[in-house]
Amino acid sequence: MSSSFLKLEVIWKDDHMFELRVTASNGRYSGTTEVYDTTESLAAFATSLHGFPQNDKALAHEAGERDGYAYFQMKYYPYSHAGYIGVEVSLEENVSPPYREIEKVKLKLEIVVEPPALDVFLKALSQLARKQEGMVTLYGRDN
């Protein structure tokens, strides 16, 4: 079985937004989509995740529109008392809804990460959001 991960890569940008190629795998299932995001939104989410988990509260970031052209969500939540963190990733393929709404490809999977891996990811994610370039990967505990 392959290893689990969540990878975000900037593939296009302009003055107002950037496009991410998001790839996720839980070792058995995997998928990719391309979705637009903004520096403000992604940087604010990265900041909100510092020190996670707190108060057993889940935190999520969304880009795109569910059941729209393309969609991505990453939801972080406490996974176990051992300190592991669950990450639920939802991806929807970038297909124009009026033409293929019923056939739209959707994927939801979970990866489990350790706090040190999340810390490394958040630092890189903040930098990616600010510079609007590069690639960051969050590795699951099976790496």
Give the chain's domain count.
1
CATH value at residue 32: 2.30.31
pLDDT digits (tens, 9 = 90+) for 60-95: 999 998 888 899 999 999 998 889 999 999 999 866
Structural domain containing residue 31: 5-139
Q: Enter the DSSP assignment of 82.
A: T
Structure confidence at residue 105 (pLDDT)? 85
**What pLDDT is recorded for position 9?**
98
Q: In 3D, which of 109, 122, 121, 113 has the Cα closest to residue 140? A: 113
Distances, alpha carbon 135 to alpha carbons 12, 28, 117, in Å: 12, 23, 15
d(CA 68, CA 94): 8
User: What is residue 100's predicted lDDT score, i.e. its pLDDT?
Assistant: 59
Please tell me the predicted confidence (pLDDT) of residue 75: 98
Which regions in the chain score pLDDT beneath 50?
none
Q: How far apart are CA 38 and CA 107, in angstroms?
A: 23
